[in-house]
């Protein structure tokens, strides 16, 4: 009888440590499943004193002016084209939320930024994020106070874009460095270094004509397709304030 009691008291479920271990493990699994919402909200509060101030305003206003000029030109052209086609839906970008960048991973493996506006402010997964210069990325994940944005440079990012001069659609894929790649599935596609790239009017993920970047170099070595490196107009590594475009396209 004594022996049985001794054996049963040495089972793992009789040890307090094992239960603590299981508790921690379950908590971490919860953190993983909730995509770190607790941690990001905690980071929101402790990083609050270090958020970017107003001193960047002048720089941002200047960049926004330049962006507006390019956009205006594009919209004029697009308007003429759409009047001819009369089949595309109009987009409304009036519903914007300004947000500050509170965490930034623009180099290395993970290319993402975390913003100080979350589901509480109406940010939804899939919303478009723009900065001074143009498109930055899309909201991939939201917590109560924060939202995480996949940058265009991330290998996860794949978007439909449009070369403005020759009006060719292509796919822009992040390649893990600062210059995403534009893939055109035609060997004879008419593109030149310096061509302007914007979001495609045919894209179902983005509103049309958001400035993205300029073609920096072209690679003709592939057999069936043409690839090009793009220099982005919006620089995620220096931008402190961004705009989130709410609502459907």
Partner 1 sequence: MNKFFTNKLSIISFIFIPIIFLWHPNWLGFLGVQPYWPLFWLLPWSMINGSVNGLVFGLFLGLILDSLTLDNNLTQIPGLMFCGFLFGRIKLNTDILAGHFRHGLICSFGSFLCGTLHLSQILFKNFSDSSSLIFISGIKNILAEVFLTGLFAPFICSQLLRMFKVSRIKLH
Q: Read off the tokens for 163.
A: 């070369």
Measured on CA atoms in the order 85, 90, 169, 71, is the torsion positive or negative? positive
* Contact between 233 and 210 (Cβ < 8 Å): no
User: What is the x/- site pattern for partner 1, positions 123-152, by CB under 8 A?
Assistant: -----------------xx------x-x--
* Contact between 236 and 131 (Cβ < 8 Å): yes
- Smallest distance from the beta carbon of 205 to partner 1, in angstroms? 16
Q: Which is nearer to partner 1, 42 or 70 (CB)?
A: 42
Binding of residue 46 to partner 1 (CB under 8 A) = yes
Q: Which is nearer to partner 1, 106 or 209 (CB)?
A: 106
Q: Read off the tokens for 8.
A: 């049963």
DSSP 171: E
Residue pointed to by tokens 């054996």: 7
Q: Which is nearer to partner 1, 35 or 96 (CB)?
A: 35
Binding of residue 39 to partner 1 (CB under 8 A) = yes
User: Quick one: which segment of 88-96, 170-178, 209-217, 239-247 binds partner 1 (CB under 8 A)?
Assistant: 170-178
Residue choice 67, 74, 106, 117 for contact with partner 1 (CB under 8 A): 106
Q: Which is nearer to partner 1, 180 or 211 (CB)?
A: 180
Q: Which is nearer to partner 1, 53 or 108 (CB)?
A: 108
171 bridge partner residues:
160, 183
Residue pointed to by tokens 């403005």: 164
Q: Give the SS3 label for residue 29.
A: helix
Q: Read off the tokens for 225.
A: 């397709």
Binding of residue 109 to partner 1 (CB under 8 A) = yes
Binding of residue 35 to partner 1 (CB under 8 A) = yes
Q: For residue 92, what are the contacts with CB-CB under 8 A and spacing of at least 6?
A: 247
Residue choice 74, 129, 183, 242 for contact with partner 1 (CB under 8 A): 183
Residue choice 28, 61, 144, 205 for contact with partner 1 (CB under 8 A): 28
Residue choice 56, 73, 175, 243 for contact with partner 1 (CB under 8 A): 175
User: How big is the chain by its Cα radius of gyration, in Å?
Assistant: 24
DSSP 145: S
Q: Give the SS3 label for residue 76.
A: helix
Q: How many other CB atoms sit within 10 Å of the CB of residue 179? A: 17
- Smallest distance from the beta carbon of 133 to partner 1, in angstroms? 18
Which residues contact partner 1 (rule: CB under 8 A)? 24-25, 28-29, 31-36, 39-40, 43, 46-47, 103-110, 112, 114, 140-141, 148, 150, 154-156, 173, 175-178, 181, 183, 227, 237
């Amino acid at each position: 009888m004594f022996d049985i009691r001794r054996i049963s008291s040495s089972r793992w479920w009789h040890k307090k440590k094992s239960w603590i271990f299981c508790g921690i493990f379950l908590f971490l699994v919860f953190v993983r499943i909730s995509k770190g919402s607790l941690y990001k909200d905690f980071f929101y509060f402790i990083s609050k004193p270090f958020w970017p101030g107003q001193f960047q305003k002048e720089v941002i206003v200047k960049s926004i002016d330049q962006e507006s000029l390019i956009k205006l030109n594009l919209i004029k052209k697009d308007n003429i084209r759409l009047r001819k086609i009369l089949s595309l839906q109009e987009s409304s970008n009036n519903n914007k939320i300004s947000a500050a960048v509170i965490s930034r991973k623009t180099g290395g493996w993970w290319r993402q930024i975390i913003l100080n506006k979350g589901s509480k402010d109406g940010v939804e997964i899939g919303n478009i994020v723009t900065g001074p210069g143009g498109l930055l990325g899309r909201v991939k994940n939201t917590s109560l106070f924060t939202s995480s944005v996949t940058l265009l440079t991330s290998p996860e990012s794949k978007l439909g874009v449009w070369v403005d001069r020759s009006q060719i659609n292509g796919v822009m894929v992040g390649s893990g460095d600062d210059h995403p790649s534009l893939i055109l599935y035609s060997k004879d596609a008419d593109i030149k270094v310096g061509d302007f790239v914007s979001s495609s009017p045919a894209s179902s993920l983005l509103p049309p004509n958001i400035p993205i970047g300029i073609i920096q170099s072209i690679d003709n070595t592939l057999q069936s397709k043409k690839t090009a490196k793009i220099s982005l107009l919006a620089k995620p590594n220096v931008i402190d304030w961004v705009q989130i475009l709410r609502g459907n396209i």
